[in-house]
Amino acid sequence: MASHDDDLSGFREEVRQWLEQNCPPSARNVPQNADNSFWGGRNAVHGNEDRKLWFERMAQRGWTVPSWPQRYGGGGLDASQARILAEEMRRIDAVNPLQSLGIMMLGPALLEFGSEEQKLEHLPKIARGEIRWAQGYSEPGAGSDLASLQTRAEDCGDHFLVNGQKIWTTYGHKCDMIFTLVRTDPQAPKHQGISFLLIDMADPGVEARPIRQLSGNENFSETFFTDVRVPKANLVGVINRGWDVAKYLLTFERTTMGSSGSGAQGEGLDQAALRLFGREGLAREPGLRQEIAEVLIGTWSARIAGQRLFDQGKAGAISPFSPSVLKLLATELDTRRTRAMMALGGFDHLDPGGSAAYKWLDAPTNCIAGGSNEIQLNILSKRALGLPEA
């Protein structure tokens, strides 16, 4: 134990020094939100030269994806080391060098289900921010009932011919490639005729149209496929077994959504309460104050849950239901938090350009996306509790 701990404290020291030397001041203390993030891709846009440098230095060490194997462009760190890196980055408030669904979603799927060729082809490009990936799951008629999807990939010998429509493609209109679920066997039972396919969005027949949300943001697109030719090499895993890959990835997505909510970005509700109300004001409106206190209690509980999930991971004792639990509770808490923040600012927070209104209008999306919270409740009641179908 002691010697591993010693190793780790040496590692921490090394990381700390490296970060001090390599993370430029303007890559620190940057509000970490979707707009400020570097997303990579063929049309990559860096916030500024310093942040570009920061990204390149991190990519060089494989620390854009610290725990991926080095041969795929990763840093090859173990869980403890990766955590130390994250902690040290947080200590100096370094901005995330590269944000991407490739890192969060496709990478883990390829590591688990991809062929060696696919790993060597795609993972380094993700790590180096060369390709920005979109996720193509939901369809207009297949939301909660994802497996009823109708986008069709027809086997044409050396390629698939893809026709159909996806919706809720995160930043689809800004992405280079998309990993999709497509139906390859229309005759099979609905979970058994689905495959997991990688499609280049620059290919003829692919069109992505942005969707405007309540907040005015355009974080999603509709994506249309019209006679798109996709090479067979782009099939991940076994044909007609794409649902296995999807299930695996949905769990990742839930965990991400479950943890992102627990640490609110930007000014916290607690601090806003002090700033807007002052210590005396907190006594004047006991109802709102109690609501804020309850949201804080939820936030602290969720943080502990994140810590516990990490510890369980290290101990190899993660419950398969934790992602659903965290996704459900964190997204609802987030909705409640943004509502309390709206109330706190009263008339001033009705400003559609302000961050309070923006976050409040965006929060419900996460209760629906990534498997609606009703789906999480179904998962928990059916699988965790073993309650029977009607």
Partner 1 sequence: MALVLTQDEVMLVDAAKGLLSREAPLGMFRALRDSGDPLAFDPALHRRLAASGFVAPNVAEADGGLGLGASAAGLIMEQAGHVLAAAPLLSAAMAAGLIGKTASKAQKDTLLPSLITGETTIAAALDETARHEPSVLATKATRNGEGWLLSGSKTAVIDGFGASAWLISAEFEGTIALFLVEQAAAGLEVDKVDAVDSRNYAKLSLKGTPAMRLGDGDAGPAITAALDLGRALLAAELLGICDEAFDRTVAYLKERRQFDRVIGSFQALQHRAARLYARLDLARGVVLAALRAIDADDPEATWLASLSKSVMTKLSRDLLVEAVQMHGGIGVTDAFDIGLFVKRGRAAGELLGDDYFHTERLARDYWRL
Q: Is 8 in the site for partner 1 (CB under 8 A)?
A: no
Give the separation between CA 370 and CA 218, rounded to whole angstroms.
17
Site for partner 1 in 220-279 (CB under 8 A): 270, 273-274, 276, 279
Site for its own copies in 273-292 (CB under 8 A): 283, 286-287, 289-290
Q: With CB under 8 A as the contact rule, which of the stretches 16-24, 192-200, 231-239, 344-352 interacts with partner 1?
A: 344-352
Residue 6 burial (CB < 10 Å; 0-12/13-18/19+)? Answer: exposed
**How many residues at the interface with its own copies, by CB under 8 A?**
7
Grouping H, G, I as helix, E, B as strand and the rest as coil, residue 207 is: strand
Rg (CA), the chain: 22
Min separation Cβ 144 and partner 1, Å: 5
- What contacts 202, CB < 8 A, 6 or more positions away? 42, 176
Min separation Cβ 103 and partner 1, Å: 24
Q: With CB under 8 A as the contact rule, which of the stretches 31-39, 92-100, 124-132, 378-386 interacts with partner 1?
A: 378-386
157 or 353: CB nearest partner 1 = 353
Site for partner 1 in 157-176 (CB under 8 A): 167-168
Site for partner 1 in 351-370 (CB under 8 A): 351-353, 357, 360-361, 364-365, 367-369
Grouping H, G, I as helix, E, B as strand and the rest as coil, residue 153 is: strand
73 or 164: CB nearest partner 1 = 164
25 or 287: CB nearest its own copies = 287
From residue 268, give the alpha-carbon distance in Å to each of 58, 110, 264, 334: 29, 36, 6, 12
Q: Is 204 in the site for its own copies (CB under 8 A)?
A: no
Residues 88, 139, 253, 291: which is the catalytic one?
A: 253
Site for partner 1 in 303-322 (CB under 8 A): 304-305, 307-308, 311-312, 314-315, 317, 319, 321-322
For the chain, what's the residue count? 390
14 or 348: CB nearest partner 1 = 348
From residue 328, give the alpha-carbon distance in Å to each of 99, 105, 219, 332, 373: 23, 19, 21, 6, 5
From residue 156, give the alpha-carbon distance in Å to each of 115, 206, 325: 22, 18, 42
Tokens of 367: 């209760």
Min separation Cβ 133 and partner 1, Å: 20
Of the candidate residues 349, 359, 370, 371, the single one contacting partner 1 (CB under 8 A): 349
46 or 289: CB nearest partner 1 = 289
Of the candidate residues 1, 315, 317, 390, the single one contacting its own copies (CB under 8 A): 390
Give the separation between CA 331 and CA 103, rounded to whole angstroms.
22
Which of partner 1, its own copies, none is residue 227 near (CB under 5 to 8 Å by kind)? Answer: none
Q: Is 89 in the site for partner 1 (CB under 8 A)?
A: no
Contact 223, 178 (CB under 8 A): yes
Contact 149, 183 (CB under 8 A): yes
Q: Is 17 in the site for its own copies (CB under 8 A)?
A: no
Give the separation between CA 178 and CA 199, rounded to whole angstroms.
5
Greatest extent of the chain over all pairs of C-alpha atoms, in Å: 74
Q: Is 218 noted as a catalytic residue in this protein?
A: no
Tokens of 314: 């290290």
Strands 177-183 and 133-136: parallel
Min separation Cβ 14 and partner 1, Å: 24
Q: What are the catalytic residues?
A: 253
